[in-house]
Amino acid sequence: MKIIGVAACTAGVAHTYLAKEKLLNAAKEAGHQVKIETQGTIGTEDELTNQEIIEADAVIIAADISISGRDRFKEKKVIQIPTHIAMKSPKALMKKIEDELNATT
Amino acid sequence: METEVIDLSELMTEETIDLEMDATTKEEVISQLVDLLVQKGMVESKAQFIQDVYEREQGGATGIGNGIAIPHGKSDSVRQTAIAIGRTKTAVAWETLDDEPISTFILFAVSDKDKNNLHLKLLAKIAGSLANDYVCDTVKHANSPKKVIETLQEGSQ
């Protein structure tokens, strides 16, 4: 499966990057391709390309604030959660995404 | 491929790490960690920076689970972006994602004036490295500040 996402938190300093790594680890462990964009104090890093968005099966928005460029995902299956869910239970989140995608196909 | 070697020495030194804090409350932990940064000249106004840290605390738990908390504040009272790390002898009551008691604290002091983006990038890498259980466990149990720095340095590569 191809999973993409965006991480962003209030201060844009710590939780954003911790959430990103947790999501990357959990997705890779479950055998998915994954890329997570971060929107933090240093700006946007690992920005998602149009191609990646088109090809993605699911989009995870792990954010405590409103992210920029949300309309990029309007045609996609989007799972929106606060960063602490990504940090606390990334594996359960992957499972939920897999179940939802399997149910719709 | 990036071959840039990550050097954390601009952000933290053995002097900004105290593995034997006698703090027993959240207030004491924050105060003592900020003291470490004030002594090194990284933070100008202790009172103002502490206020910024509490503002962030109100925005949600900074306990990241696994017995670790990462309080942080962004402020113009911070002269240079820096990190202080402390471990208390007994667990301290702190809002966290799981029920693990917390005795390891990593305080991020982010400067509004410090225009060195590299510092923020390093901070982001260190935060990311805490997604790794091995890094967390080693920081929790390392017996010297040197080992803590080495672990974060390796974890951030």
Beta bridge partners of A45: A38
Answer whether residue B34 is part of any domain: yes
Answer whether residue B71 is part of any domain: yes
What residues does each domain of chain A span?
A: 2-104
CA nearest B108: which of B25, B4, B8, B5? Answer: B8
CA nearest B91: which of B107, B104, B103, B105? Answer: B103
Answer whether residue B138 is part of any domain: no
B70: tokens are 């990462």
Answer whether residue B139 is part of any domain: no
Question: Percent of chain A having pLDDT more than 70?
Answer: 99
Q: Is-above-0.90 flag for pTM?
A: yes
Which of A25, A45, A82 is opposite residue B131, by nearest beta carbon? Answer: A25
| Chain A residue with minimum CA distance to B125 | A17
Answer whether residue B51 is part of any domain: yes
Answer whether residue B145 is part of any domain: no
pLDDT at residue B1 tops 50: no
pLDDT of residue A105: 63
Tell me which chain B residues have a C-beta less than 8 angstroms from the C-beta of A82: 60
Residue showing tokens 């202080």: B84
Answer whether residue B87 is part of any domain: yes
pLDDT at residue B5 tops 70: no
The pLDDT tens digits for B35-72 are: 999 999 999 999 999 999 999 999 889 999 999 999 99
Q: Reply yes or no on domain A2-104 having CATH 3.40.50.2300.
A: yes
Residue A74 neighbours by CB under 8 Å, 6+ apart:
none
Tell me which chain A residues have a C-beta less than 8 angstroms from the C-beta of B59: 10-11, 64
ipTM (interface predicted TM): 0.89
The pLDDT tens digits for A10-26 are: 989 999 999 999 999 99
**Catalytic, out of A6, A8, A9, A27:** A9
Contact yes or no for A87 and B97 at CB 8 A: yes
Contact yes or no for A13 and B127 at CB 8 A: yes
Tell me which chain B residues have a C-beta less than 8 angstroms from the C-beta of A88: 65, 97-98
| Chain A residue with minimum CA distance to B53 | A11
Tell me which chain B residues have a C-beta less than 8 angstroms from the C-beta of A92: none
- Residues A67, A7: Cα–Cα separation, whole Å: 8
The pLDDT tens digits for B105-138 are: 999 999 988 777 888 999 999 999 999 999 999 9
pLDDT of residue B114: 74
If pLDDT is split at 50, 70 and 90, which confidence band does A87 have?
very high
Based on the structure, what is the number of domains in chain B? Answer: 1
pLDDT of residue A102: 87
Please report which helix (H) or strand (E) contains residue A92, including its range. helix A90-104
Residue B149 neighbours by CB under 8 Å, 6+ apart:
B8, B9, B12, B13, B14, B17
- What is the full DSSP assignment across B98-125? SS--EEEEEEEEEESS---HHHHHHHHH
Answer whether residue B92 is part of any domain: yes
Q: Assign residue A91 a region: left if phi > 0, alpha if psi is -120 to 50, beta otherwise?
A: alpha
Give SS3 for B52: helix
CATH number at residue B88: 3.40.930.10
Q: Are A63 and A19 in contact (CB under 8 A)?
A: no
Q: What residues make up the domain containing B62?
A: 10-115
Contact yes or no for A13 and B72 at CB 8 A: yes
Which of A20, A82, A88 is opposite residue B128, by nearest beta carbon? Answer: A20
Based on the residue annotation, tell me whether A9 is a catalytic residue of this protein: yes
A27: tokens are 């997705």
Contact yes or no for A42 and B61 at CB 8 A: no
